Chains A and B, each alone.
Chain A
Amino acid sequence: MTRLHDPEDGLIRRHYRKKGKPQVVEDQLTGIKRAPAAAFEPRAKDKALSVNVESSLRAAGESLLWGVNLEKFYAARITVGDCEALGLRAYHDPVFETPEVSGNPHHGSIFGIVEARDTDPDAYETILNALSKASTIVAEH
């Protein structure tokens, strides 16, 4: 697991479509399309928020939508700098293939969100707000 330091490095988070449509909102203060806060919630069982690391994808010549099943998901992008600004820590955290788990060499983990959820619910909501606001939608064409 390697800590990511480049603030411009992208972190790609997938989120479910509903009825085939990306659940994208147009922020009325900025006019920019972004993902809703729900896209950045870790599951109850998670220890960190899972993402794909843009620098790893680019180094392998893959697109930002690598591994994203576009029939079910769309993808949003935040940066390492967005995470650092919130006191979160982003890591390149590859998942190695096992009989039970399919591997993902581009997997990353964002730490700090789960801790906030479990100890400071208001801070957790603030983090979700900020990540949602900072996000952009990865173009599909």
Chain B
Amino acid sequence: MSTSALTRPYFQTPVTPPSVRAPRRSVVERFRFVQFVFGGLTASVTTAAIHTGDEQPESAAVQQQKKTVGVGALTASVEASLQRIASFKEALNDTLELNSEMVHDEEGDPIDSQTVQYAILSLSPLIASLELPTPLILPLQNGGIGTEWHAFGMNIELRFRKPYDVYAVLEDVWSATPFRGRDPHLERTRVALGELGRRVFESSNPKALSDLE
């Protein structure tokens, strides 16, 4: 297994997730990308610790305490990411099960495998790295699959009709400019999900935010 992802500099210019550009990747490649996301989280905590070195010299005890806190935060962060991915997978499996029932009843078409792969590869990195609730996942007619988040004042609805054919509804109670249209590379969606993740984080970590201020 390559460790290059873990040693990447934190400040490296971020690139568009390869999953969005190339939907049909192998499982191995997909895990490599998830690993990259986790690598970023590792570096983030470390960088935060390094910053303190520019200020006052610290005692060994304080440095050790910070290191312990950093490792604890990393562990919690990785566990939360894995939990979100696990919940997403469970919701997806429930959807595929429902789709089978609909197909059996002649009430729907089978979900297209390439479309669901595209949806998974597009959303997995976002779900791993952002504090998002588990979406509602629905089979669509004609082989598509839909994912929806309705929380914290935001309606985010994605309809994956085919690979690169994604219709998005992005509404925010605090914004007068909703978006309803095609978002094939999830550029607008990524911004909206980032905002939702920020709101989730703020609601669950009020102390962390006040400390930052």
Do the two chains belong together in a single complex? yes
Which residues 32-72 of A have a CB within 8 angstroms of B? 36-38, 41-44, 72
Determine if A122 is an interface residue (Cβ-Cβ < 8 Å).
yes
Q: Are A28 and B150 in contact (CB under 8 A)?
A: yes
C-alpha gap A112/B172 in the complex (Å): 29
Q: Known contacts being A18-B98, A28-B155, A37-B159, is A43 close to B141, with CB within 8 Å?
A: yes
Mask, A4-31, CB within 8 Å of B = 1, is 0000000000001011000101111100
Q: Are A16 and B148 in contact (CB under 8 A)?
A: no
Contact of A16 among B101, B161, B172, B173 (CB under 8 A): B101
Q: How far, in Å, is B103 (CB) from chain A's closest CB?
A: 11
Nearest B residue (CB) for A40 = B141
C-alpha gap A122/B94 in the complex (Å): 29
- The secondary-structure label for the interface of chain B is strand
C-alpha gap A29/B153 in the complex (Å): 7
Q: Are B138 and A29 in contact (CB under 8 A)?
A: no
Q: How far, in Å, is B175 (CB) from chain A's closest CB?
A: 10
C-alpha gap A19/B93 in the complex (Å): 11
- Total contacts A-B at CB 8 Å: 65
Which residues 157-197 of B have a CB within 8 angstroms of A? 157, 159, 161, 167, 169, 171-173, 180-182
Determine if B40 is an interface residue (Cβ-Cβ < 8 Å).
no
Q: Known contacts being A18-B98, A38-B146, is A29 close to B171, with CB within 8 Å?
A: yes
Determine if A104 is an interface residue (Cβ-Cβ < 8 Å).
no
Residues of B within 8 A of A43 (CB): 106-109, 141
Q: How far, in Å, is B42 (CB) from chain A's closest CB?
A: 34
Q: How far, in Å, is B136 (CB) from chain A's closest CB?
A: 6
Contact of A41 among B140, B152, B173 (CB under 8 A): B140
Contact of B94 among A18, A121, A125, A129 (CB under 8 A): A18
Q: Are A125 and B95 in contact (CB under 8 A)?
A: no
Name B residues whose Cβ lies closer than 8 Å to a Cβ of A: 94-95, 98, 101-102, 106-109, 136, 138-142, 146, 148, 150-155, 157, 159, 161, 167, 169, 171-173, 180-182
The contact sample of 7 A-B pairs, CB cut-off 8 A, is A16-B107, A25-B150, A25-B155, A37-B146, A38-B146, A42-B141, A122-B182
Name A residues whose Cβ lies closer than 8 Å to a Cβ of B: 16, 18-19, 23, 25-29, 36-38, 41-44, 72, 121-122, 125-126, 129
The 6 nearest A-B residue pairs measured at CB:
A41-B141, A38-B138, A25-B150, A125-B167, A18-B98, A28-B155
